[in-house]
Amino acid sequence: MKALLLAALIVSPAAQAVEVKCPDVYPAKTLKLAPDASDTEGHGLMKRAHLSYTYIHDGELYSEQTLVPPPRTKVKGGWHTEFGVVPDTDNWLVCVYGGATWGDGSLERWQRLDSKLSSCVLHVKQTRLKHNPQLWNAWAVCK
């Protein structure tokens, strides 16, 4: 009986959920830039940036977003949004950094989601601190 119960727990939908998290902060990184006529030895610096937006994307890497997000459901401290994703296609959790407010930002981090998944719930929470009221946490739980 215990073995049957254990097997049922292993194959249950809740046991198959996958969680993918956006890092709260994108770390500072130095870059070696491709040489061009004006700068043969270019160097760049991406400064540390806080999470400022996130979304689920279906399509090719870096392609234009066409998925219209469904309405948000408010929860204490934030919201969540349930997305249906197309199995056996490219689906992504896109984390955006560097914006002054939620919805802004220019630095994107793309995380591929398993192609066998069919739905994701995107969770967003805001942490309110005196020194920085714009700290966000985001993660997707997908099945």
Q: How many residues in total does the chain contain? A: 143
Q: What is the pTM of this model?
A: 0.81
Confidence of residue 11 (pLDDT cuts 50, 70, 90): very low
pLDDT tens for 91-138 read: 999 999 999 889 999 999 999 999 899 999 999 999 877 776 678 999
The pLDDT of residue 133 is: 63
Asked whether 22 and 139 are in contact (CB, 8 A), the reply is yes
The pLDDT of residue 2 is: 45
Region label for 81, one of left (φ > 0), alpha (ψ between -120 and 50) or beta (otherwise) = beta
